[in-house]
Structure 1
Amino acid sequence: MEAEIISVGTEIILGQIVNTNAPFLSQQLGKLDITAARQLTVPDQLDLLETAVRTAWQNADLVFVCGGLGPTADDVTLRGVAAALGVRLTRDEDHWAWIRESFRQRQEPMMPENVQQAMYLSGGTTLANPVGLALGSWYERDGRRLIVLPGPPREFTAMVNQEVLPRLKKIVEGERQIVSRTLNFFGRPESLLMDEIAEATGDLHQVVITSYVQPDAIQVRMTVHDLPEATATALLDRAQAAIVAKEEAYFFGVGDDCSLAAQVVELLKQRHLKVTAAESLTGGMFQSTICSVPGASNVFDGGFVTYAASAKERLLGIDPQLIERYGVVSSQTAAQMAEKSRQRLGVAVGIGFTGVAGPDSLEGQPAGTVWVGLSIQGQATMTRQLHLGAYVGRQQIRRQSVQHGLQMIYHALQK
């Protein structure tokens, strides 16, 4: 099945915003073995949009039109799509009543144009918007499908995940037997990881293996086509065993929505342990990441952000002479941060982050030099030095430091 993605928005054309929707959608379609062979961006201009939709409808099995469903004058997507398909627009009365009630409850004025957000393509069906006002549309005719989605990434992602992908999965499975599984890795360059995986699975020719780089992981997707489910599952089991045996140091779980933070929180819950942190360069990012996981309150009570050396001494009780002797960016300081934070809060696991986020050097250490300390009750404290590329920038250095810290905890708790 081939798809075409049409992104609508003058602000995208002008470079005022970055189009994150199309890459996200392409990646999700790829997991269903659907190729987005053509992608096009058009401005909020009715005639250009109508031409683009008419051409896509003639050439592709599956057409996505993304953006332009708001209540303003330049939101022309539904009108353009309807004109291209030769259909009318229908108002969903229940949704329109819900929109009016929503404005009433918020005590905000509602403009007549808000009715656009309750419209959909006649002859099609509506797609619910879990986090916004504008409905989506699903339209089918002559074996082709066209899907209209909102532009704001939060609404777009929610509608794709909750409304579109489940429907497409049923369609794809009805046309072709596909069994797949996603493995998650961190800390290995993609090219090296995939070369080693190819070597480990060289005899499993029926397993197609692809990689997707995520902000905090590399996802490796294994897919088997057109075989009985039991046979396909057995092949995936063999491939996973071979891959994990080779890449165990970097592997952290199975599933499209798997994250290191969620895996660590789950392991802590299973072992009835709590974690704390003392953070310097990461400035609370580790603690925020832990708290982003549902159920984090079971494993996390609080922690420390000790950016300056004086804060490390005052809040954690680190000996000033240790910092004077070894420096802030050192194995010794990272170890003390982990140990002291754990002891002060009386928990089983403490982690410390100290280093140079950049762009300037510190204590003669270049940006990207990071020390992470890990203290687990009853075990010897361990430290790890990271040499992260300064070119990735300050925020990415901080983010990668957090992921490396989570990885240290994950492997320590696996033992």
Structure 2
Amino acid sequence: MHLHWHRRDLRLTDNRGLAAAEGVGETVAVFVLDPGVLVHAGPPRVAFLLDALESLRADYQERGSDLLLARGDPREVLPALAEEYGVSTVTWCRDYSGLARDRDAAVRRALADVDVDRVAVHDAVHHGTTEPTVPTLADLGFDKSEATVPSAGTAAARERLGSFCESDIYRYDERRDYPADNCCSRLSAHLKYGTIGVREVYEETEAAKMEASDETERESVFEFQDQLAWREFYAQVLWDRPDVVTDNYKQYEQPIAWREDPEGLQAWKDGETGYPIVDAGMRQLREEAYMHNRVRMIVASFLTKDLLIDWRRGYEWFRKKLVDHDTANDNGGWQWAASTGTDAQPYFRIFNPVTQGERYDPDAEYITRYVPELASVPADTIHSWHDLDDGTRQMHAPEYSTPIVDHSKRREMALETFQRARGEAD
């Protein structure tokens, strides 16, 4: 008998951890709800996880098996299960963050002390009923999610992938930076929790490439596959450099003089900066636990360059709010925006939130979708909000924020700050 510990591989197909023990005998599958991990997640992400667990459990039941659910420390839960079921093998798929590797090493040590031929009962393991149940958000101490969370599970992931490969993938290269179009795959949460594997996604997109009608469509598919490669790249970076979760990948001669600005940070979190594209992104995050990738770059640049607030503060907020939070990819994105990462944006390239909005949301369709105060304001007025006087702003949208900073001045401040960190300024 073999025990498989599910973590970020909530699927039965394309699962090398499960495949590794083929021939050992019956499989006992378990997912451990670890309070030490859940404390860093917000309700939307936990809601997606619980939905994915329900789906995985149903998949096991269709095959005459089931999924055990436990709450507690894996170092205690897994040895107890190994003893109780008399398993000869315990498998899991690797995780790559520093904390995950420390946890897995501790689990290995704990399992080394177990006589797997013995049977013991552990109270933290909830498996005494014929129908083990997935807990609710309230059971885990979370309030009901205010955000709209996508359907989880392998079936939902495959449906989403199939829909994407039928149409949007062929215009991905041309339109992926335009948030109003919403032509992205929206597979990020599924890949994060492994309800679908990256190899399956790649194979399906290869099939879509074969169906492409011309070279432009084939290049578009390739561009999406390139993004999958970036995902794997950041996972490799995290494996080699687990310290990047808390430290800059790129070291400067002097520490970057990040500012303490509680009011600015709160305005950014609330989507009340007075820069429409920034505020739309932060409000999308609040409403959907998701944000379009181009807008993620814009809001990250605004926090780290316009407000000069440490990227770690933004990363922590994303970790709490995003349904698709992935340590490697979120960290890579934040350090890119902050000019501290592996292939980081040069410090002197600072996104202008005004021109970004004009270029990628010219009709302000995305902005007005999430910033209703601007719904009746013409697009050109929205994009010139920073230049309007207070009276004109009051006339058009009295409930919407005044810009909290002057971008041109803050750009100069950011350049000076990074030049000092590089040892290029007094």
Shorter-chain TM-score: what band? under 0.3
For the pair shown, the structure with the greater C-alpha radius of gyration is 1
Higher relative contact order (CA 8 A, sep 6+): 2
TM-score between both structures, scaled by the size of structure 1: 0.28
Report the TM-score when normalising by structure 2: 0.27
